[in-house]
Structure 1
Amino acid sequence: MVDLTQHPVKAVYGLGALGFELVRFPIILIKFLVLGRQHPSWTLRQAITVHAFFSGLWHVSKVQVATPLPLTPEQEKERFVVIKPAKSDAYKGPLRSNKDIVPVEIGATWFPAPLTTGSDKNTKVVLHIHGGAFVTGDGRTAASGPMAKKLLKHTPATHVFCPQYRLSTLPVSKTSNPFPAALQDSLTSYLYLLNDLNISPKNIILSGDSAGGNLAIALLRYITDYGSELGLPAPSSALLWSPWTNPADTSGSYVHDNRNYATDYISPPFTAWGTTAYAGEGGDKVLSQPYVSQKNRTFKTGVPMFVNTGSGEVLYFDIVEWAEKMKEAGNDLQLDIEENVPHDILLLGHLLGFNQEAVNMAKRAGEWLRGRV
């Protein structure tokens, strides 16, 4: 089988994919104009952009385009900081499950400006863990800026802090950053806010979208399991945006056979890339444990949760099931559903033609947060 991730095959595939998409675009356009769109309520722009994003993400996943993670400021300038890991004994249990994965320095981006002290009681920080199937994304301005702006405008947040956690890569190896690398870095970011900046946990709002939502849930579980032992306090609340709750399902069927497949941009090559890389050499055994796959793994946390999903995304059914079971377990959880939108609209709504829907979601989260932070 030809390896599409290696040059020159990678470049040839890229040119071929571009030509293929250009040739078939007029056919897709006629289909949307004459036969109908992915959803009858969608505009032509929404139909075209979701289709384009689906196709682009499919091809990017086939060749596994890497995301560079430099520890230099770039365009973020003073808003980009490099943070050191906490003391070694802060990382226990599942965060030490792979002897080759140890905490490291990571970068992070502040919005709208860097925060150097948490002494102001009016300071409210959203610690947002970005999505990208554990294999793409970086939390910097280009990717996370529009999302951060919405949270700053429509919620009580005064600052948004986006860590640049290690991404998993293929082929798997001892240095390909599988689990628990990203979770270690998520904890590093939280401890940085608590210990280095002395921000009260009451003023920290944990947030995450897609795979970042998975990491946020795993971090809440870690605080539940090890918080008392470590003296690790919980954040005030959590915002979970289209969280990926079941990476253990590697069949691809839950994507392709899903009734929402036509109204989403998620595809089997993308999820397979993410799960294979994040599992690393441990394979399915890693994915099936509760710090990765939360399906049917409820736990009780004192942290109130706002869980958002789009009714048109393939993860909708898993998210609703998980949210309902977490409520049954006694958690303070509000499930928020945006009708007829695809995956992770808070992050991508401005690109896909669903910006107003993303704004509405942020406003509802803001209303929910008031009185909780």
Structure 2
Amino acid sequence: MAPLITYHPFKGIYVLLAASLELARMPLWVVKYVTSYGRQNPKYTFKQAFGTRFLYAFLQHVAAIQFTTPLPLTPGAEKDRFITISPASSDFYKGPLDSNPDVKPTTIGATWYPAALSASVDKRNVTVVLHMHGGAFVHGDGRTEGTGYLASQLLKHSGATHIFCPQYRLSTLPASATSNPFPAALQDTLTSYLYLLHTLQIPAANIIISGDSAGGNLILSLLRYISDHGADVGIPAAGGAFLWSPWVDLRDSTTDNFSRTNSNYSTDYLPPNFTIWGSHAYAGPAGISSLNNPYISHLGKPFKTATPIFMNTGGAEVLFFDDVKCGEEMAAVAGNRVTVDVEPDVPHDILLVTPFLGFHDAVARCAKRAGEWWKNVKTV
């Protein structure tokens, strides 16, 4: 894998100072979290409490110097599990996906788990999870180092035979015509779905579209797009959708008020500057007023979808309240099939970060419930 940090002399100085500061703090964290009384949540283990605090500090510094994730279109460590995908015909990218003349569909990479889907396999006997990774639209790539654990849990418990993780374009700052603002990531999400449908000829009923955090936002946006434009351009609804701690409203994340006034702020690892970075970068040159777009912020804007939805959120994460409210709004739409699933006493997006934090039992429970939900969906 390419290095996480894009080198710059001033960034190097910052990294040295930040590392020194956090190393000095670590003994204090050990003392504080050695008993349950000092932990963010008394039900956290020492590893979970320490890991949550460490991850908060790490993401805070990542956002401070805006570390970038390289997105090469070469296989790397993934070897033959990595492929490239070309965009579909421009006829499929309508409305919001054609709203910025500077942002056009492009070739992207993607990683298969546990192996690339063979062309000779009977597609009627597979279930593919198309998973869009989290990272606040500014971080991550869907490759094994970051998404391998999540993929392994879904393969083990959800009933899927294959997981397909694209590396969609990431947004950057300063905002510009080439900084990959909205709708770049959403275009890549549609490109990935159309690849499964058209190139691999996988029946839509055998595809679960899935996403964690910012990736969950993209899946909701894809569902909305199919609802609004699918019939016109011939895009069928997916068989199901998994949403893992979806970031459903970017409007409140442009300042630190949302996080710091949230009653779950102390039990989560999301620092305010990380989501501020992501929301401003995804908005791009259009500015933060564009975050009110229903294809970016879904809270308060429910829509009808033919795809059943399983929405999982953590009871100790800052997005918990928005997730539950959004799920209830979607469930209230006539004809929608929405299950809001809450795992108590866990922070944000545990499927992604548990290798660092140690919420393995909770991840297994969530993935198993998703698998049971999918079994029930298929029998309806």
TM range, normalised to the smaller chain?
over 0.9
Indicate the SS of the match to 1:205.
strand
Match of 1:372 in 2: 377
Alpha-carbon distance in structure 1 between the residues aligned to 2:62 and 2:193: 31
1:139 corresponds, among 129, 138, 142, to 142
Residue 264 of structure 1: how far off its partner (Å): 0.5
- Which of 355, 365, 368 aligns to 1:350? It is 355
State whether residues 243 and 319 of structure 1, in contact with CA within 8 Å, keep that contact through their aligned partners in structure 2: yes
Deviations 1:200-244 (A, max 9, x none): 001000000000000000000000000110111010000000000
Q: What are the within-5 Å matches in structure 2 for residues 5-154 of structure 1? A: 7-33=8-34, 36-117=38-119, 119-154=122-157
| Alpha-carbon separation, structure 2, partners of 1:114 and 1:29 | 43
SS at match of 2:142: coil
CA distance in 2: counterparts of 1:219 and 1:120, whole angstroms? 22
Whole-Å separation in 1 of the counterparts to 2:360 and 2:109? 28
* Correspondence 1:243-258 to 2 at 5 A: 243-249=246-252, 250-258=254-262
Give the whole-Å Cα distance in 2 for the aligned partners of 1:43 and 1:155: 26
Which residue in the other structure is 2:3 paired with? Answer: none
User: What does residue 282 of structure 1 align with?
Assistant: 286
Task: Tell me, in whole angstroms, the C-alpha distance in 2 between the residues paired with 1:28 and 1:321.
Answer: 34
Aligned residues of 2:123 and 2:201 also touching (Cα < 8 A): no
Kindly state the Cα deviation for residue 52 of structure 1 after the two structures are TM-superposed.
Answer: 0.5
Within 1, Cα distance between the matches of 2:184 and 2:227?
Answer: 19
Runs of 4+ in 1 over 6 A off after TM superposition: none
- CA positional deviation for 1:329: 1.4
Residue 283 of structure 2 aligns with an amino acid whose one-letter code is A
1:187 deviation in Å? 0.1
Q: 8 Å contact 1:110–1:161 — kept in the other structure? A: yes
Alpha-carbon distance in 2 for matches of 1:154, 1:15? 41
Q: Which one-letter code corresponds to 2:173 in the other structure?
A: L
How far apart are residue 284 of structure 1 and its match?
A: 1.7
The two structures, once aligned, show a CA RMSD in angstroms of: 1.2
Deviations 1:314-349 (A, max 9, x none): 000000110111111122111110010000001112
After superposing the two structures, state which structure 1 stretch, 8-17 or 117-126, moved more.
Answer: 117-126
Residues 199-210 of structure 1 mapped to structure 2, 5 A cutoff: 199-210=202-213
Say if 1:116 and 1:197, in contact at 8 Å, map to a contact too. Answer: no
Counterpart in the other structure of 2:171 = 168
What is the correspondence of 1:210-359 to structure 2 with a 5 Å cutoff? 210-249=213-252, 250-330=254-334, 331-359=336-364
Q: How many residues align?
A: 369
Q: TM-score, normalised by structure 2?
A: 0.95
SS at structure 1 position matched to 2:34: helix
Q: Which amino acid aligns with 1:63?
A: I
Unpaired stretches in structure 2, ≥5 consecutive residues: 1-5
Q: By how many angstroms is 1:10 displaced?
A: 1.3
Q: Secondary structure at 1:372's aligned position in 2?
A: helix
Q: What displacement does 1:299 show? A: 0.2
Shift of 1:251: 2.7
Opposite residue 21 of structure 2, the aligned amino acid is: F
Determine if contact 1:349/1:357 at 8 Å carries over to the other structure. no
- TM-score normalized by the length of structure 1: 0.97
Q: Percent identity?
A: 54
1:145 and 1:33 mapped to 2: Cα distance?
30
CA distance in 2 between counterparts of 1:88 and 1:264 reads: 41
- 2:123 is paired with a residue whose SS is coil
**By how many angstroms is 1:355 displaced?**
1.1
- The structural deviation recorded for 1:6 is 8.5
Contact map agreement 2:123 2:203 (CA 8 A) in 1: no
- SS of the residue corresponding to residue 84 of structure 2 reads strand
CA distance in 2: counterparts of 1:52 and 1:251, whole angstroms: 22
